[in-house]
Amino acid sequence: MPYRLLKWVTPNQLTLGRIFSAPELMALVYLDAPATNWVALVLFVLAGLTDYVDGNLARHRGEVTQLGRMLDPIADKILVTASLVMLVSRGHAGAVPTILILMREFAVSGLRQVAVADGVHIYAFRAAKWKAGLQMVATGMLLINHDPFGVPMLAAGRVMLWAAAMITLWTGYDYFAAYFRQVALHPAGGAPDPSFRDEPEV
């Protein structure tokens, strides 16, 4: 990647840009016109690409910070959930898979706070990357929400959203199972381990 093209940009600025793109996406989804749908898709894709760029840029420059580690998963969730909630309000995304996704995200975020307090290290699962990817693909399809060139984008997006919801719940179960396994092996009996280092949430 030509990082020199981003010499005036910090990784945290890219992450914040992903967060600040959410209101624009919400407005575009609300307008719900073919032209604004395509603009929303382009904005969503560009914002999603920053998720890949900011982490790699931070590691390349040695600029990994606690603020960045905290903001990165928050930015991902704001981007996807804001889009999905607006898509539900316009009748394009299913309410049930969206609620299942939101329930898992809240539950795992809460679990990680408990894990930090208990000194339990929960690693990110590889399947969680698939979860994030499916959510992004499903959301992108639903942002189009019509059938360009005869491609049933809306129907495919709804199916993909259900697939994303199932994998999202599965990875949520994995996180809880991993936490309770660690607790069973190392019952909490005092202050959290000072060497504990949490990983970015997925």
Domain boundary assignment for the chain: 9-185
Q: Which of 28-42, 51-65, 152-166, 170-184 has the lowest mean pLDDT?
A: 51-65
Q: Which two tokens stand for residue 92?
A: 């394009």
- Whole-angstrom Cα distance, residue 192 to residue 198? 12
Alpha-helical runs (H) found in the chain? 11-31, 34-61, 66-89, 95-118, 126-144, 153-185
Tokens of 150: 């005869």
Stretch 13-29: mean pLDDT, rounded?
Answer: 92
Non-local (6+) Cβ contacts of 86 within 8 A are 25, 26, 29, 30
- The percent of residues above 70 in pLDDT, for the chain, comes to 87
Kindly tell me if the per-residue pLDDT of 194 is higher than 90. Answer: no
Return the number of other C-beta atoms located less than 10 Å from residue 3's C-beta: 12
Region 12-29: mean pLDDT is 92
In contact, 11 and 68? CB cutoff 8 Å? yes
Instruction: Please choose, from the candidates 117, 121, 119, the residue with its C-alpha nearest in 3D space to the C-alpha of residue 201.
Output: 121
d(C-alpha 6, C-alpha 170), whole Å = 37
Considering the four listed CATH numbers 1.20.120.1760, 3.40.1050.10, 3.40.50.1370, 1.10.10.1590, the one that applies to the domain covering 9-185 is 1.20.120.1760
Q: What is the pLDDT of residue 189?
A: 43
Tell me the per-residue pLDDT of 120-133, one tens digit each, with 9 for 90 and over: 877 767 777 788 88
pLDDT at residue 40 greater than cutoff 90: yes
Is the overall model pTM greater than 0.85, yes or no?
no
Which pLDDT band holds residue 57 (cuts at 50, 70, 90)? confident
DSSP code per residue over 6-24: GTT--HHHHHHHHHHHHHH
CB neighbours of 53 closer than 8 A, spacing ≥ 6? 1, 6, 14
Residue 147 to residue 156: CA distance in whole angstroms: 10
Cα distances from 62 to residues 57, 96, 181, in angstroms, run 8, 41, 34
Q: What is the pLDDT of residues 58-109, one digit of tens each?
A: 777 777 777 777 888 888 889 999 999 999 999 999 999 999 999 999 999 8
- Residue range 6-30: mean pLDDT, rounded: 87
Between the alpha carbon of residue 80 and those of residues 45, 64, 70, 164, 184, the distances in Å are: 11, 23, 17, 12, 34
pLDDT at 195: 37
